[in-house]
Amino acid sequence: MTTEAASIMLVDDHPLLRKGLKQLIAMEDDMTVVAEASNGPDALLLAVEHDPDLIVLDLNMQGMDGIETLKRLRDSGVTSRIIMLTVSDADDDVVAAITNGADGYLLKDMEPELLLEQIHRAVTGKMVLSEAITEILATALRQPTQSTTSQLSNLTNREHEILSLIAKGMSNKVIARELDISDGTVKVHVKHLLKKLGLRSRVEAAVWMVNLQGNKAPQ
């Protein structure tokens, strides 16, 4: 971890939940809440203003919901890691969040200690998914073997290498160290490989790759 505290923005339309989460994070020396929003439009403005390391985003908000907010954050070029924190484990919500660029999906019924641990993991570049969510994703993102094989063959050796490391939950910084290249170079490779595979996020790519490896049985 760096000596500087990781900056976090909370987006939820329930003041009580934001307050509780803020107090929980305040107990940690290496994380600090720099901004709070109760709705999507405010979140868009604050995300650009503060450029936080991590955004914790609610799904079911009045007006602009979490998925729409997520889409607009990504479309406006916000590169902060974004995790959904919600009560919904509906397949459609999970898939919509991940395919629109979320870096994780956590359920609000988690124990506070576990939630804090997962936020820590998200800040350090790890994927964070509640256990049930991983299964939902693996099923929902399963694709025909023929298309996956042809899509994979479009990747360069370096892109394939990076995809394998993403599947292990490594962040860009860790991948850069592992391959002895710059963060910026990793970002460019990730952008290209996502485009080639028709995927929107690192998490989607990781689940897709893990799922593909699991399916590499006899063909």
pLDDT at res. 168:
77
151 and 132 share one domain: no
The model's pTM: 0.71
- Give residue 169's domain range: 141-215
More confident residue, 104 or 3: 104
pLDDT at res. 149:
61
39 and 107 share one domain: yes
Q: Are the CB atoms for 21 and 49 separated by under 8 Å?
A: no
Whole-angstrom Cα distance, residue 153 to residue 148? 9
Q: Is residue 218 very low, low, confident or very high in pLDDT (cuts 50, 70, 90)?
A: very low
Per-residue pLDDT averaged across 163-174, rounded? 81
Q: Please name the residues in contact with 103: beta carbons below 8 A apart, sequence gap of 6 or more.
A: 81, 82, 83, 122, 127, 128, 201, 202, 203
| Burial classification of residue 111, based on how many CB atoms lie within 10 Å of its CB (0-12 exposed, 13-18 middle, 19 or more buried) | exposed
171 and 118 share one domain: no
Q: Per-residue pLDDT tens for 28-79?
A: 999 999 999 999 999 999 999 999 999 999 999 989 999 999 999 988 988 8
Whole-angstrom Cα distance, residue 190 to residue 192? 5
Q: What proportion of the chain, given as a percentage, has pLDDT over 90?
A: 45
| Nearest to 171, CA basis, from 126, 123, 128, 204 | 126
146 and 128 share one domain: no
Per-residue pLDDT averaged across 142-168, rounded? 76
pLDDT at res. 213:
63
Q: Per the structure block, which two tokens stand in for 162?
A: 């990076």
Q: Compute the Cα dihedral for 92, 76, 169, 17 and give only its sign.
A: negative
pLDDT at res. 148:
59
The total of structural domains in the chain comes to: 2
